[in-house]
Every structure is written in structure tokens, then in C-alpha cells.
């Protein structure tokens, strides 16, 4: 996977160098633009994921004029606006014009990188020189994490830090929380992104095949070895190896892997000399390795080798606000796959999804939605389209009212994040909606940083 490309149009040299120094260590390619016309024509000479643009005027007239012209293109770039002399009025005007995020200098480097990463992940560059076909250009790259909750935003920021170093990683979490996805996210943003990523299912790797599959073999090393095979670890040389479900690996296999980590070399079956390896290891498991160590079923020395950068993925029941974003993402994905135009979930259906505990986590949600697409409704997914097991917790009970936070989520989803319509739907003022979003940490995709919501006297 190629590095995400950021088109940088910052005239202030000091600020330009600061932004570049933030982007480059995190694996982003940077293309510098020298003027507005170059920016507008750049889509013919490069294919960036994102535009970072500076406005040096307090009223932002130059920036807003450019944003308007850019949003009129066939495939507009998402835009982050940086201003050195900003105001709340400019922030509101910029967001209304279509800017995806807004930063007033000086700003938080962590929040800036998180915003760049999110926008680059969610907006792959369109094909050059032609109008974008939404089906043909739909991204098949799932190496990004869906969700806008505080816990997911914090997770993305931490994964970026892990990607910037070369330490081994241990990812834990329940089944279906996206451990392999997190591993791919790290690899795609690391210095090894141009090298292979090899995923090994430890639960499906019998001891008898450990050495031949992982370490390789020479021709004639055993009956049936009619050619040389380098092994999966050597195939990943320079890149990343993901040991999925490492908690299910046998003690014999654990000893073999420990030796590879310590020596950084392998002996292929039938080989006369060792082969050096330069790999990064990411281990993932839904098992409690500490408990397995107490039962002598997982090697303590291997655990300490792997448990350098530790990531725990929360279950979906602990970040239910992300169900809104996940469902929207999966429905769009399934629309492209099945050639349908399902618009989304009704408010009542979304209420049932928010009330479910999702023991199978994200995988369960995706599988449920895919099952609905086998016999799909004509436009919206309603309560009648949901499987029986979603209804069961509510049968025989009076439906509990939605919490205030869930009411806000439902209103924003139903209005496609149009805050004026959402506020009207809730019989609130627009400013009340802003305050509730800030209170419950609900982040608008058009204005990611909660502290940038406008004050009451700046809203017309």
C-alpha cells in the first residue's frame, strides 16, 4: 500500500516546515504547492489524499474562495484549513464551506496528525484525469478504523505512535473487535509499508508443519519437496509478520518462534546455513495470556518479548456510539458489493442496534447487515428487516426510552449530520445541540475537534 499523500499549500515557511516535520515521520508523502492555481490544477499532475491549506487573513476570504472552487470539482479533496490569525466566525464559515477540519496556530500536533490520518484513510484519491465513478473507485482497502468515539480516536493516535517505531506489538481484545485490522493499520503506516505483510493463523498451524511452513525447505529435504520454498517468515523479510491468535500456539511452536525473535535467523529444512531475517512481529489474541502463563501453557519469555507495545481493542458494547458510523460504512460497502442502493437504517432499527450488546462485536454487526442484503428492503432497513435475535431482548418488555446521548446520535444520523435539521428534529436550538455534542463527546465529521464548536453568539 502506497503512503498517503498530503498536498501542502502553506506560504509561511516556518509553519510549512513545522507541518512537514509532523507529517513525514508518520509515513505521509508531502507535495508542496506554491499558489492557488497550482492547487486547483494539481489533480492533473498528482493524486493526493488531502489538502492542507493556510489562510493568512482573519476573514479568510482567500481560503473560502478557494474552498468553494475546490468543492465544485468532480472529485473534491478533503481540506484541512490552518490559520495564523483566525476567529470563531472564520471557523464556522470554513466548516460550512466544506472544510473537513480547522486548526488555529499554534495547535496540538497529536490532534493534527489524528485528523490527517482519519481524512487520508476515509478519502482515497480519485483516479486522475477523469470523473470519479463511485462504484469503480470505492476503496477496497480496509486498513483504517471506523469510529468517531473518544476511545477510537485515542486508539488511532496510539496506533500511529506504534507505527512510527519498530517494536514488537501485542494486540488483545475479544473476538470480532478488529485485531487483524489494527495490525494492518500499523503496518500500512509504518516504515515497512512497502514490504510484505504476512498473516499466520496460529490456531491452524499444526506442529508437524511449523518448520516447513514458517522456515521453508530445500529441494529434496523430505519426500515431496520437489522445489525450494523460502517459508512464510522469509517471504515477509523487511516487512511485518502477524501471528493471529498466538494464544492458541502450542508450546513447541512457541519455542521455535522465540528462537527466531532472539536470533533473527531461521534454518530451512535441509539447508546448510541459516538465513537472516529482518521482520517486525505483531501478535494478536483473544486469550488471557497472563492466565495461560500461570497454567504453564504460554511461555513467559515469549510473552515479554512480544509485550512491548501493548494495544487492547475495546468491545463494541463499550463504544456504542460507533455503531452509527460502522453501520453506515458497512451499508455503503454492501451497496457497492450487491449493486443496491439501500439508504440506511430507520430510527427505530438504529434504536434496536444501539440496545444490543453485540457479543460478536464488529464482525457480528457486519454479518447481520450482510444477511439483510440477501433479501433486501427497497430503500431503508427497518425493524422488520432485522433478525429475530435482535428483537428478543425487547420482547415481553416495554421499550425503554432512548438516552439523551442516543437521541442525539439518532437525530444526527437521520439528517446526515446536518446540525440545523437535527436540532429542529429534537426541538432544540442549534447551540443546544452543539453543547450536547460536546457533553457526550459526539464528534461531527465536519468539525472533529470538540473544542472548536462555535459559541452561541457566533451562530446565525
- Residue 140 maps to a domain: no
Task: Indicate the pLDDT class of residue 184, thresholds 50, 70 and 90.
Answer: very high
pLDDT at 255: 94
DSSP string covering 346-396, please?
A: -HHHHHHHHH---TTHHHHHHHHHHHHHHS--SSEE-GGGS-HHHHGGGTT
Instruction: Based on the fold, state whether residues 223 and 324 are members of the same structural domain.
Output: no
Residue 75, CA distances (Å) to 47, 70, 98, 197, 236 in order: 11, 9, 13, 31, 36
Instruction: Based on the fold, state whether residues 34 and 173 are members of the same structural domain.
Output: no
In sequence order, which residues have a C-beta less than 8 Å from that of residue 87 and are 6 or more positions away? Answer: 58
Mean pLDDT calculated for residue range 80-101: 74
Mean pLDDT calculated for residue range 357-369: 93
The 10 Å Cβ neighbour count of residue 380 is 13
Half-sphere exposure of 299 (CA within 13 A, CB side): 16
CATH number for the domain spanning 382: value is: 1.10.8.60
First-to-last C-alpha distance (Å) of the chain = 44
Instruction: Based on the fold, state whether residues 271 and 309 are members of the same structural domain.
Output: yes
- Residue 134 maps to a domain: no
Mean pLDDT calculated for residue range 99-128: 75
What b-and-e string marks burial along 268-281, b requiring 16 or more CB atoms within 10 Å of the CB? beeeeeebebebbb
Mean pLDDT calculated for residue range 294-308: 95
Instruction: Based on the fold, state whether residues 310 and 323 are members of the same structural domain.
Output: no
Query: Which set of grid coordinates corresponds to residue 284?
Result: 494478536
User: What strands, in cross-sheet order, belong to the sheet with 197-201?
Assistant: 197-201, 240-244, 280-285, 169-173, 309-313
Instruction: Based on the fold, state whether residues 90 and 28 are members of the same structural domain.
Output: yes
Is the pLDDT at 67 greater than 80, yes or no?
Answer: no
State which of 281, 314, 347 marks the end of a domain: 314
Instruction: Based on the fold, state whether residues 326 and 303 are members of the same structural domain.
Output: no
What b-and-e string marks burial along 303-317, b requiring 16 or more CB atoms within 10 Å of the CB? bebbeebebebbbbe
Cα 370 to Cα 148: distance, rounded to the nearest angstrom: 23
Q: Are 81 and 117 in contact (CB under 8 A)?
A: no
State which of 103, 122, 141 marks the end of a domain: 122
Task: Indicate the pLDDT class of residue 120, thresholds 50, 70 and 90.
Answer: confident
Total domains in the fold of the chain:
3
Cα 183 to Cα 178: distance, rounded to the nearest angstrom: 9
State which of 262, 297, 314 marks the end of a domain: 314
Backbone angles phi, psi at 429, to 5 degrees: -80, 160
Is the pLDDT at 139 greater than 50, yes or no?
Answer: no
pLDDT tens string 17-62: 888 888 887 778 888 765 443 444 434 345 678 888 877 554 445 5
Q: Is 43 helix (H, G, I), strand (E, B) or coil?
A: helix
- Residue 68 maps to a domain: yes
- Residue 133 maps to a domain: no
pLDDT tens string 409-457: 777 777 777 888 888 777 777 777 877 887 777 765 444 333 333 433 3
* Closest by CA position to 317, among listed 362, 366, 370, 367: 362
Instruction: Based on the fold, state whether residues 385 and 266 are members of the same structural domain.
Output: no
Task: Indicate the pLDDT class of residue 65, thresholds 50, 70 and 90.
Answer: low
Instruction: Based on the fold, state whether residues 162 and 265 are members of the same structural domain.
Output: yes
pLDDT at 368: 94
The four Cα atoms 144, 407, 384, 344 give a dihedral, to 10 degrees, of: -40
Is the pLDDT at 399 greater than 50, yes or no?
Answer: no
Task: Indicate the pLDDT class of residue 358, thresholds 50, 70 and 90.
Answer: very high
Lowest mean pLDDT among 168-172, 321-325, 430-434: 430-434
Is the pLDDT at 262 greater than 90, yes or no?
Answer: yes
- Residue 381 maps to a domain: yes
Q: Are 108 and 452 in contact (CB under 8 A)?
A: no
Query: Which set of grid coordinates corresponds to residue 79?
Result: 481540506
Cα 119 to Cα 101: distance, rounded to the nearest angstrom: 9
pLDDT tens string 197-245: 999 998 888 888 888 889 988 888 877 777 888 889 999 999 999 999 9
pLDDT at 49: 83
pLDDT tens string 265-297: 988 888 888 889 999 999 999 999 999 999 999
Instruction: Based on the fold, state whether residues 166 and 95 are members of the same structural domain.
Output: no
Lowest mean pLDDT among 3-7, 169-173, 322-326, 448-452: 448-452
Query: Which set of grid coordinates corresponds to residue 71?
Result: 468543492
Cα 275 to Cα 404: distance, rounded to the nearest angstrom: 60
Task: Indicate the pLDDT class of residue 306, thresholds 50, 70 and 90.
Answer: very high
Q: Long-range contacts of range 277-280, CB-CB < 8 Å, 24 or more positions apart? A: 277/233, 277/234, 277/237, 278/237, 278/238, 279/233, 279/236, 279/237, 279/238, 279/239, 279/240, 279/241, 280/166, 280/167, 280/168, 280/169, 280/187, 280/190, 280/192, 280/239, 280/240, 280/241
Is the pLDDT at 125 greater than 70, yes or no?
Answer: no
Instruction: Based on the fold, state whether residues 43 and 17 are members of the same structural domain.
Output: yes
Determine which helix (DSSP H) or strand (DSSP E) holds 243, and give its type and residue range. Answer: strand 240-244
CATH number for the domain spanning 96: value is: 3.40.50.2300
Instruction: Based on the fold, state whether residues 55 and 107 are members of the same structural domain.
Output: yes
- Residue 143 maps to a domain: no
Instruction: Based on the fold, state whether residues 215 and 162 are members of the same structural domain.
Output: yes
**DSSP letter, residue 177:** S
- Residue 137 maps to a domain: no
In sequence order, which residues have a C-beta less than 8 Å from that of residue 338 and are 6 or more positions away? Answer: 373, 376
Domain limits for position 20: 5-122
Q: Are strands 275-276 and 265-266 parallel, antiparallel or unpaired?
A: antiparallel
Which percentage of the chain shows pLDDT scores above 70? 78
- Residue 364 maps to a domain: yes
**DSSP letter, residue 47:** -
Q: Higher-confidence residue: 26 or 249? A: 249
pLDDT tens string 329-343: 999 999 988 999 999
Amino acid at each position: 500500500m502506497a503512503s498517503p499523500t498530503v498536498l501542502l499549500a502553506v506560504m509561511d515557511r516556518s509553519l510549512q516546515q513545522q507541518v512537514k516535520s509532523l507529517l513525514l515521520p508518520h509515513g505521509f508523502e508531502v507535495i508542496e504547492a506554491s499558489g492557488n492555481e497550482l492547487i486547483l490544477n494539481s489533480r492533473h499532475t498528482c493524486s493526493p489524499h488531502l489538502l492542507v491549506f493556510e489562510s493568512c487573513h482573519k476573514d479568510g476570504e482567500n481560503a473560502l474562495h478557494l474552498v468553494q472552487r475546490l468543492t465544485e470539482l468532480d472529485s473534491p479533496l478533503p481540506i484541512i484549513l490552518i490559520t495564523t490569525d483566525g476567529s470563531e466566525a472564520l471557523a464556522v464559515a470554513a466548516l460550512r464551506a466544506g472544510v473537513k477540519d480547522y486548526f488555529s496556530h499554534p495547535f496540538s500536533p497529536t490532534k493534527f496528525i489524528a485528523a490527517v490520518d482519519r481524512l487520508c484513510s476515509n478519502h482515497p484519491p480519485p483516479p486522475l484525469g477523469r470523473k470519479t465513478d463511485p462504484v469503480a473507485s470505492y476503496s477496497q482497502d480496509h486498513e483504517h478504523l471506523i469510529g468517531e468515539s473518544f476511545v477510537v480516536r485515542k486508539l488511532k493516535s496510539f496506533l500511529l505512535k506504534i507505527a512510527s517505531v519498530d517494536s514488537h506489538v501485542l494486540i488483545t481484545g475479544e473476538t470480532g473487535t478488529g485485531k487483524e485490522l489494527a495490525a494492518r493499520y500499523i503496518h500500512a503506516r509504518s516504515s515497512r509499508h512497502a514490504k510484505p505483510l504476512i498473516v499466520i493463523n496460529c490456531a491452524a498451524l499444526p506442529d508437524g508443519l511449523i518448520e516447513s511452513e514458517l522456515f521453508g525447505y530445500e529441494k529434496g529435504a523430505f519426500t515431496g519437496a520437489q522445489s525450494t520454498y523460502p517459508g512464510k517468515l522469509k517471504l515477509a523479510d523487511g516487512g511485518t509478520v502477524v501471528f493471529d491468535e498466538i494464544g492458541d500456539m502450542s508450546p513447541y511452536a512457541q519455542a521455535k518462534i522465540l528462537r527466531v525473535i532472539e536470533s533473527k535467523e531461521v534454518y530451512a529444512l535441509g539447508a546448510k546455513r541459516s538465513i537472516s531475517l529482518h521482520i517486525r512481529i505483531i501478535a494478536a489474541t483473544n486469550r488471557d495470556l497472563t492466565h495461560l502463563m500461570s497454567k504453564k501453557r504460554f511461555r513467559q519469555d515469549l510473552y515479554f518479548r512480544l509485550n512491548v507495545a501493548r494495544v487492547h481493542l475495546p468491545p463494541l458494547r463499550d463504544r456504542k456510539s460507533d455503531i452509527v458510523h460502522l453501520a453506515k460504512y458497512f451499508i455503503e460497502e454492501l451497496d457497492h458489493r450487491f449493486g443496491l442502493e439501500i439508504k440506511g437504517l430507520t430510527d427505530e432499527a438504529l434504536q434496536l442496534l444501539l440496545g444490543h450488546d453485540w457479543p460478536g462485536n464488529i464482525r457480528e454487526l457486519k454479518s447481520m447487515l450482510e444477511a439483510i442484503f440477501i433479501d433486501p428492503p427497497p430503500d431503508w432497513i427497518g425493524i422488520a428487516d432485522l433478525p429475530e435475535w435482535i428483537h428478543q431482548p425487547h420482547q415481553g418488555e416495554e421499550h425503554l426510552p432512548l438516552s439523551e446521548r442516543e437521541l442525539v446520535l439518532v437525530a444526527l444520523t437521520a439528517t446526515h449530520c446536518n446540525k440545523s435539521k437535527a436540532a429542529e428534529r429534537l426541538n432544540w436550538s442549534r447551540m443546544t445541540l452543539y453543547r450536547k455534542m460536546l457533553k457526550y463527546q459526539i464528534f461531527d465529521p465536519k468539525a472533529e475537534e470538540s473544542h472548536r464548536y462555535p459559541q452561541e453568539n457566533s451562530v446565525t
